[in-house]
Amino acid sequence: METIRVNLDSRSYDITVQTGGLRTIGEWAARFSLGAGMLMVADTNTAVLFGDAALASLAAAGFSPTLLTVPAGETSKSLAMADRIYEQAIQAGLDRNSAIVALGGGVVGDLAGFAAATYLRGVPFLQVPTTLLAQVDSSVGGKVAVDHALGKNLIGAFYQPRGVLIDPQTLLSLPEREFAAGMAEVIKYGLILDADFLTELRTDALAIMSRSPQHLERIVAHCCRLKARIVERDETDVGDRLLLNFGHTAGHAIELAGGFERFVHGEGVALGMLAATRLSELMEMIPAGTVAEVRSLLELYGMPVHCGGLRTGELIRHMGKDKKRAAGSLRWVLLAQPGRAVVRSDVSLESVREALQVILRVE
Ligand SMILES: NC(=O)c1ccc[n+]([C@@H]2O[C@H](COP(=O)([O-])OP(=O)(O)OC[C@H]3O[C@@H](n4cnc5c(N)ncnc54)[C@H](O)[C@@H]3O)[C@@H](O)[C@H]2O)c1
Ligand SMILES: [Zn+2]
């Protein structure tokens, strides 16, 4: 077991990473001095996989939890679904001391967190993430949101949880593609922050791919530690937190160009990281050959490294619409070396065009 403290003044909290921890969620929740009333939000997959065990442990610890199950998938990240949560919370008589618990991936975490931030102007929020992406990324840092018909994550808040409970064992049932997509974010942490971690990911690839609990616990805890340090420096996304956007400028454009069907988020990020690495090469920030290294690591974890069929102009147009665009020019997160990222706003359109060829053209 590992505990990672996120230091944010009065909003500080612990991330507990514990193999098998889900079975003791009741004892874990009991430490937060909450009321007995509790609303647990899961989706149609996580409710079936983990709902009973979680409810039993919470009941044994003296809570009276109710479970709300939302359809699996991004479409549940909506104001309409948040309204279902409010309705159930009101009917169950939840007060300001009652917690809302997210049991699921990033969709459930973002949705339940948004409801927790707004119901009664904020009630205690507990995160129990069950996808690799949610365990290493979305459950840490307090960004909560729902989507709007006109764009993703447009309605949201910064709202830190009281605590995060991560049980890496829940990842054993995760579909292969979702696991690989989460690995894209794991590799991202190595590329932007920690060269030693990159080496470890290369050396231990087989054990990690076979989801050895010991290895999962280690890499998940390490990613949480890296993200926690960044969030502590920049809680509201105005400085260093931007580095976490590595691979996401092109990545979002690729997701959009694929109609959000051809590529899941992590696959877009994998391709976007390759484009950003190539751009760093073209700007002579890193030695030629780094792209080949990054590509081989992504391939090792079963991620796509080409997106033939998409067009350069289309991707560039989509990038211009990215909400993270700085006034005037696009800010790119690039590599100063593997393990260290920097933000640059002096990137020419021509270089971007050329960099994109590394994923558009099959060599
Ligand atoms: N708040 C943040 O900082 C942040 C950061 C990154 C991404 N996000 C958001 O996260 C969302 C994506 O999250 P996601 O990738 O976890 O998607 P998701 O929540 O849709 O989960 C993916 C699929 O896996 C299923 N699933 C979950 N846990 C499982 C398990 N243990 N075993 C088997 N199946 C399981 C889910 O039911 C779903 O079908 C997006 O909406 C994105 O915007 C938020
Ligand atoms: Zn991401």
- Residue 125: CATH number of its domain: 3.40.50.1970
Ligand 1 is surrounded, with C-beta below 6 A, by 43, 45-46, 49, 72-74, 77, 104-108, 110, 130-131, 133-134, 137-138, 141, 143, 153, 170-171, 173-174, 178, 265
pLDDT of residue 151: 86
Which residues span the domain enclosing 44? 2-172
Question: Is 355 within 8 Å of 282 (Cβ atoms)?
Answer: yes
Final residue in a domain of this structure, among 137, 172, 207: 172
Mark which of 172, 207, 223 sits at the end of a domain. 172
Separation of CA 35 and ligand 2 centre (Å): 34
- Quick one: which atom of ligand 1 is closest to the CA of 173? 32
CA atoms within 13 A on the CB side of 329: 11
**Residues 165 and 220 sit within 8 Å (Cβ to Cβ):** no
Q: Are residues 208 and 221 in the same domain?
A: yes
Of the candidates 36, 41, 51, the one whose C-alpha atom is nearest the C-alpha of residue 146 is: 41
Helices (H), the chain: 25-30, 44-46, 52-60, 79-91, 106-118, 132-133, 176-193, 195-203, 205-209, 213-233, 248-257, 265-282, 290-300, 312-320, 349-360
* Pair (147, 118) in one structural domain: yes
pLDDT at position 41 is 98
Output the domain CATH number for residue 289.
1.20.1090.10
Mark whether 196 and 342 lie in a shared domain. yes
pLDDT of residue 327: 41
State the distance between the two ends of the chain, measured CA to CA, in whole angstroms. Answer: 45
In the chain, which stretches have pLDDT less than 50? 326-328
- State the total domains in the chain: 2
Q: Are residues 137 and 233 in the same domain?
A: no
Which domain-ending residue is among 127, 142, 172? 172
